[in-house]
């Protein structure tokens, strides 16, 4: 929201900086708490609260937070290829962030998708650096129009999550510049984000904050970034060099590397200079200025759950526009509900709204519309809707929830002790509503060595139900004072545990719904460090999972097949859960979980019902062994809290699908350029080499065209319920100077019977003589999206500059420069990156080659 209140000028901020005492300055170089910066009351300098994450403002609690709006994941936003829509999403996220009393949102993520096994790919936009940078720029513009700072992350080279705290990634300068730094460069230069977040891994032998290359030389020196650079949570690697090389703020607080005493001693010993300290503090003051914290936003705001109807509508619109129609045999879709008597909704995600991935993107949505919810609400009175889960895909048993009551409310009351043997008085209590019991980043829990969780359990249903139990440290589970599970050792990896990947004890317990049961869990801190991230060192936690006996023992596959036999249409809702696709871990294989159960479900259903539709909810490509057996396939990504409505809008034709793949979809993981050099391949060695160089995504698959490794679905691909024709392509302009622009125009006609949108993609192929430079066959230069009614025809234009045809010259003695080569550059106007989808070819002749500085 705009304001007329006058903000302090930069010179006034400098004057304020001069009034700060050294201990005050040093304290401001790290967070005060998990989500807040330090205030200096003496000078009326306020604190600033930040919030995760890229698809919704979660607030300051990881597990028991107030509800929040859940927007589509960034990969879903990228699939819209709609920059205007992306800006609207950013603006709405800015408004959402304010409801949580925060004025900086920790997003967007812009690291390119290097592999389909990337556990955090869904958080980022695309494999293509240009698409990523342009979409991120609009996200940032929208967010900051609400005076809420964007935090572009993770700078840099944070493409894998396996061993991300300690792995060393070897990347060529050229790949860095053309692929991995490029989205950051575009976003910084186009939209001036107020914050950048650094990454965890080592890059070419050193952490980002322990070398001058990234923050000092490139980000600030070359690109002119004038905002604040903060660490990812726990990503500061040292006390002094990180300040020297430009990392402004260590997060979270309290300080780990940047304690006031440590820094004071560093100054005394000549390891740290005052100018570097002042530069870092000024960046924080500047952020306070930009977000209005010195004026109308000075006072802390209580976090609220505000369910905005306009945001509901936007989430549904964006979710629907991001859905990609991958297959539509004989125009089977859209569904004509007037001709359908019975629909079977099958699969583990039929009654579950897979709104988001795991980790920082997780949040407590205001609500979640599952596909089943949407079908029942809209079609239930006219069409018989049946449903079966068809397969279990849990990795850890779901949290126990229903029937828990404690002194503090519904759930477990947690009592925190400062001694590991539970002696003495407790110092803090907290309510945990479900069986996910963990103390991470709770400032009030600081100093705890043990926690006792208590609840009275009222079983909703009798049965010999299935339980699972585990703890980060040694843990015990008592039911009615009887020890039923005793974990004597600590867990292998506290971070994996935090993200839902537990090695659990699993057993059955007979419950009578007419009785109540006292449940007590006692868990202690791990006696030995069991995580590479220091934030987890003091974390205590336990998990109690539950599955109803009937649900666990039912033959779900047979049940689903029987429903499919009797249905006019069978729709399989499959995909990943937050336990399988999450920050902190990469996937082991490019397949649906678990143990082939979902693939078997689809194949079995298709065998008995030829009218089978598959709706896949993942943030990545997966193998589709049943593709030839089904009538239609939709890629739904993580579409946010309105996911069920968004999917049904497309299935019924109320929304004509216009999503395009922002990734390449391989047939097999073995066909990717990074095969053998990603994720779990580096688990023991702690080394990963970016062997493919610049050949990422379609840049690699273009070279496999016509072979058995050809991509299944190409980058930029997506079907529609209508048809389009492109004609009369023209080109104007030339490139040499920084302000020069080439404009490509083409006429697009809707030749079908439905209104719809087409995305015109413009690629540039380098001169044929450039093959010696190892350049990929082509690269995306620009794109534009147009909506047309049936029979409508319009001319659209899109432009690009020299950056889009240049490459990083690592062969010339004049290193550190971009290069545009002399010769004929072919301009390809296309509807996907597949060569057969090129609709026109033009030529851009560069009369004389030239270099230019970053």
| DSSP collapsed to 3 states, 149-174 | EEEEEEECCCCCCCCCCCCEEECCHH
Instruction: Give the residue ranges of DSSP H helices in 566-596.
Output: none
> What does each C-alpha distance from 566 to 551, 561, 598 come to in angstroms?
22, 9, 20
For 691, the 3-state DSSP assignment is coil
pLDDT at 65 over 80: no
Q: Whole-model pTM?
A: 0.96
* H or E element that contains 727: strand 724-732
Residue 689 phi, psi dihedral angles, 5° rounding: -110, 130
By C-alpha distance, which of 44, 40, 58, 174 is closest to 105? 58
Strands 779-788 and 756-765: what pairing?
antiparallel
CATH 2.60.120.260 for the 404-552 domain, yes or no: yes
- Kindly indicate the confidence band of residue 3, based on its pLDDT and cuts at 50, 70 and 90: very low
CATH number of 724-852: 2.60.40.10
Report pLDDT for 497: 85
- Reference 521, options 465, 475, 473, 474; nearest CA is 475
Q: How does residue 822 score in pLDDT terms, banded at 50, 70 and 90?
A: very high
- Report the pLDDT value the prediction gives residue 772, as an integer from 0 to 100: 53
Percent of the chain with pLDDT over 90: 91
630-651 pLDDT, tens per residue? Answer: 999 999 999 999 999 999 999 9
Which of 52, 128, 161, 232 is catalytic? The answer is 232
> Is residue 607 predicted with pLDDT exceeding 90?
yes
Burial class (CB in 10 A: 0-12, 13-18, 19+), 367: middle
pLDDT, tens only, 311-366: 999 999 999 999 999 999 999 999 999 999 999 999 999 999 999 999 989 999 99
Q: What's the burial of 624, exposed, middle or buried (CB within 10 Å: 0-12/13-18/19+)?
A: buried
Q: What does the DSSP 8-state code read for residue 499? A: T
- Known active-site residue 232: yes
Q: Is 152 exposed, middle or buried (0-12, 13-18, 19+ CB in 10 A)?
A: buried
For residue 544, the cross-strand partners are: 469
Of 3-17, 163-177, 620-634, 673-687, minimum mean pLDDT range: 3-17
Q: Indicate if the pLDDT at residue 4 is higher than 80.
A: no
Question: Measured on CA atoms in the order 191, 192, 195, 196, is the torsion positive or negative?
Answer: positive
What is the tens place of the pLDDT at every residue in 766-810? 998 755 578 999 999 999 999 999 999 999 999 999 999 999 998
Q: Are 608 and 565 in contact (CB under 8 A)?
A: yes
Quick check: 392 pLDDT over 70? yes
Q: Where exactly are the structural domains of the chain?
A: 11-290, 320-395+558-704, 404-552, 724-852
> What is the average per-residue pLDDT within 414-433?
95
CATH 2.40.37.10 fits 320-395+558-704, yes or no: no
3 state DSSP class of 784: strand
The per-residue pLDDT for range 229-250, each reduced to its tens digit, is 999 999 999 999 999 999 999 9
- Within 10 angstroms of residue 546's Cβ, the number of other Cβ atoms is 23
Lowest mean pLDDT among 96-100, 437-441, 499-503, 607-611: 499-503
- CA–CA distance, 589 with 623 (Å, rounded to integer): 9
Residue 685 φ/ψ region, left for φ over 0, alpha for ψ in the -120 to 50 degree band, beta for the rest: alpha
Return the ∠ at Cα 334 (arms to 331 and 338), rounded to 5°.
Answer: 120
Q: Are 22 and 278 in contact (CB under 8 A)?
A: no
pLDDT recorded at residue 1? 39
Convert the pLDDT of each residue in 76-108 to its tens digit.
999 999 999 999 999 999 999 999 999 999 999
Residue 325's contacts (CB-CB under 8 Å, 6 or more residues apart) are: 333, 632, 633, 634, 650, 657, 659, 718, 719, 720, 721
**pLDDT for res 700:** 98
Q: Measured at the alpha carbon of residue 317, what is the angle toward residues 65 and 641, in degrees to the nearest 5?
A: 25
- Give 256-300 as a DSSP string: SS--HHHHHHHHHTTSS-HHHHHHHHHHHHHHHHHTTTTTTT-S-
Mean pLDDT computed over 653-672: 98
- Model confidence at 61, pLDDT cuts 50, 70, 90, reads confident
CA atoms of 153 and 217, how far apart (whole Å) = 18
Place of tokens 């902190």: 584
**CATH fold of the domain at 11-290:** TIM Barrel (3.20.20)
- The partner residues of 542 in beta bridges, in order of sequence, read 437, 471
Do the Cβ atoms of 805 and 763 come closer than 8 Å? Answer: no
Task: Judge whether 585 and 351 are in contact, CB under 8 Å.
Answer: no
CB 219 within 8 A of CB 188: yes
CA atoms within 13 A on the CB side of 25: 23
786, two tokens: 């147009």
- The mean pLDDT of 815-835, rounded to a whole number, is 93
Half-sphere exposure of 199 (CA within 13 A, CB side): 32
CB atoms closer than 10 angstroms to residue 841: 12
Does an H or E element contain 796, and which? strand 793-800
- Identify the burial level of 719 via C-beta atoms within 10 angstroms of its C-beta, where 0-12 means exposed, 13-18 middle and 19 or more buried: buried
Nearest-angstrom CA–CA distance, 267 and 249: 18
- pLDDT at res. 768: 86
Check residue 563 and give its pLDDT. Answer: 98
Q: What pairs with residue 459 in β-bridges? A: none
Identical topology for domains 320-395+558-704 and 404-552: no
Predicted confidence band of residue 443 (pLDDT cuts 50, 70, 90): confident
pLDDT tens per residue across span 113-152: 999 999 999 999 999 999 999 999 999 999 999 999 999 9
The average confidence (pLDDT) of the chain is 95
Q: What are the phi and psi torsion angles at 210 (to 5°)?
A: -110, 15
State the Cα–Cα distance between residues 844 and 823, nearest whole angstrom: 8
CB 747 within 8 Å of CB 728? yes
Burial class (CB in 10 A: 0-12, 13-18, 19+), 254: middle
Distance from the first to the final alpha carbon of the chain? 34
Res. 217: pLDDT tops 80: yes
Provide the pLDDT for residue 442.
Answer: 83
Helices (H), 406-555: 494-498, 549-553
Confidence of residue 493 (pLDDT cuts 50, 70, 90): confident
């Amino acid at each position: 929201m705009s304001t007329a209140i006058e903000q302090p000028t930069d010179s006034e901020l400098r004057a304020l900086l001069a009034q700060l005492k050294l201990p005050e300055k040093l304290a401001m170089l790290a967070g005060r708490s998990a989500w807040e910066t330090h205030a200096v009351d003496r000078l009326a300098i306020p604190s600033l609260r930040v919030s995760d994450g890229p698809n919704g403002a979660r607030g300051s609690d990881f597990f028991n937070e107030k509800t929040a709006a859940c927007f589509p994941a960034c990969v879903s936003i990228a699939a819209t290829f709609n920059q205007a829509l992306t800006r609207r999403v950013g603006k709405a996220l800015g408004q959402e962030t304010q409801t949580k009393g925060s004025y900086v949102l920790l997003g967007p993520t812009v690291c390119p998708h290097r592999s389909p096994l990337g556990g955090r790919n869904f958080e980022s936009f695309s494999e293509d650096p240009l698409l990523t940078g342009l979409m991120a720029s609009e996200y940032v513009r929208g967010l900051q129009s609400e005076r809420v700072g964007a935090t572009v992350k993770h700078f840099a080279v944070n493409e894998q999550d396996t061993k991300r705290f300690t792995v060393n990634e070897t990347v060529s300068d050229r790949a860095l510049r053309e692929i991995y730094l490029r989205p950051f460069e575009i976003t910084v230069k186009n939209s001036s984000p107020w914050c950048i977040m650094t990454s965890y891994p080592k890059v070419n032998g050193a952490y980002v904050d322990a070398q001058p290359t990234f923050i000092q030389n490139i980000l600030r020196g070359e690109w002119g970034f004038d905002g604040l650079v903060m660490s990812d949570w726990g990503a500061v690697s040292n006390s002094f060099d990180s300040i020297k090389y430009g990392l402004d703020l260590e997060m979270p607080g309290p300080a780990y590397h940047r304690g006031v005493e440590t820094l004071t001693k560093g100054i005394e010993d000549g390891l740290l200079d005052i100018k570097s300290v002042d530069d870092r503090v000024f960046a924080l003051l500047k952020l306070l200025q930009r977000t209005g914290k010195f004026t109308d936003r000075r006072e802390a705001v209580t976090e609220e759950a505000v369910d905005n109807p306009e945001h509901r509508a936007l989430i549904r619109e964006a979710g629907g526009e991001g859905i990609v129609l991958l297959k539509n045999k004989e125009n089977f879709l859209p569904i004509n509900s007037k001709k359908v008597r019975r629909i079977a909704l099958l699969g583990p995600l039929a009654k579950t709204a897979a709104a988001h991935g795991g980790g920082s993107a997780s949040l407590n949505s205001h609500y979640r519309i599952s596909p089943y919810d949407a079908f029942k609400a809209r079609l239930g009175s006219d069409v018989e809707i049946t449903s079966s889960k068809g397969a279990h895909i849990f990795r850890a048993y779901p949290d126990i929830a229903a029937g828990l009551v404690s002194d503090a409310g519904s759930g477990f009351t947690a009592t925190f002790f400062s001694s590991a043997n539970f002696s003495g008085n407790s110092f803090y209590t907290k309510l945990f509503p479900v069986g996910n019991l963990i103390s991470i980043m709770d400032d009030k829990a600081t100093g705890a060595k043990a926690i006792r969780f208590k609840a009275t359990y009222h079983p909703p249903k009798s049965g010999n139900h299935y339980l699972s139990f585990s703890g980060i440290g040694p843990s015990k589970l008592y039911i009615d004072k009887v020890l039923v599970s005793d974990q004597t050792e600590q867990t292998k990896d506290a971070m994996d545990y935090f993200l839902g990947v537990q090695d659990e004890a699993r057993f059955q317990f007979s419950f009578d719904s007419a009785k109540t049961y006292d449940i007590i869990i006692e868990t202690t801190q791990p006696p030995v460090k069991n995580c590479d991230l220091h934030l987890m060192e003091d974390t205590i936690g336990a998990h109690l999972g539950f599955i109803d006996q009937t649900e666990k023992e039912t033959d779900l596959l047979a049940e689903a097949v029987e429903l499919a036999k009797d249905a006019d249409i069978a729709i399989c809702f499959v995909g990943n859960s937050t336990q399988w696709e999450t920050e902190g871990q990469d996937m082991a294989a490019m397949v649906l979980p678990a143990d082939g159960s979902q693939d078997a479900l689809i194949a079995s259903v298709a065998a008995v019902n030829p009218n089978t539709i598959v709706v896949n909810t993942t943030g990545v490509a997966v193998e589709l062994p049943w593709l030839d057996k089904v009538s239609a396939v939709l890629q739904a990504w993580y579409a946010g809290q309105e996911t069920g409505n968004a999917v049904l809008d497309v299935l019924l034709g109320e929304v004509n699908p216009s999503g395009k793949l922002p990734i390449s979809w391989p047939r097999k993981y073995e066909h990717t350029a990074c095969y053998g050099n990603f994720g779990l391949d580096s688990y023991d060695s702690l080394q990963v080499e970016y062997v493919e160089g610049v050949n990422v995504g379609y840049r690699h698959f273009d070279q496999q065209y016509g072979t058995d490794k050809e991509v299944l679905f190409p980058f930029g691909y997506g079907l529609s319920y209508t048809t389009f024709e492109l004609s009369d392509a023209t080109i104007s302009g030339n490139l040499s100077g920084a302000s020069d622009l080439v404009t490509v125009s083409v006429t697009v006609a809707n030749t079908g019977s439905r209104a719809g949108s087409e995305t015109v993609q413009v690629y540039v192929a380098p001169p044929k003589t450039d093959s010696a430079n190892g350049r990929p066959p082509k690269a995306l230069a620009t794109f534009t999206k147009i909506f047309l009614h049936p029979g409508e025809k319009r001319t659209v234009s899109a432009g690009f500059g020299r950056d889009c045809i240049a490459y990083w010259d690592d062969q010339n003695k004049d290193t550190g420069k971009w290069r545009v080569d002399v010769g004929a550059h072919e301009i390809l106007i296309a509807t996907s990156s597949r060569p057969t989808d090129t609709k026109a070819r033009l030529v851009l002749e560069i009369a004389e080659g030239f270099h230019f500085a970053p």
